[in-house]
Amino acid sequence: MQDTEQGQKMKYKTIFERCHNIIQDREDSYGDARPLHRSIAKRWSSVLNGKLRADISETDVARMMSELKAARMDHTGFHEDSILDQINYLAIAYRLQSDDD
């Protein structure tokens, strides 16, 4: 049992390291996530004007991008890059929400 648990921990560690590397590369290339997510939120709110009861927030954008990745996998099956992107979008949502508190 202990070997299985240790092996599982290594797998999770590898997953999170890969996610960290991807998100760090994106941040190095595009900067902090908040300005981009704020811009997307404004654009989506404009498109959905009158169809929603409230504007879309930066956190909502990150959560919906995660859902987009989930829908892609529902349609085309499992793809490692989609699941890693989904994890990272949820991490971004968490950070953006935490920054607002």
pLDDT tens column, 11-20: 889 999 999 9
- Rounded average pLDDT over 30-54: 92
> DSSP assignment of 29-92, as one string?
HH--HHHHHHHHHHHHHHHTTTTSSSPPPHHHHHHHHHHHHHHHHHHH---HHHHHHHHHHHHH
pTM of the predicted model over 0.85: no
pLDDT classification of 53: cutoffs 50, 70, 90: confident
- Rounded average pLDDT over 77-99: 93
- Rounded average pLDDT over 59-70: 96
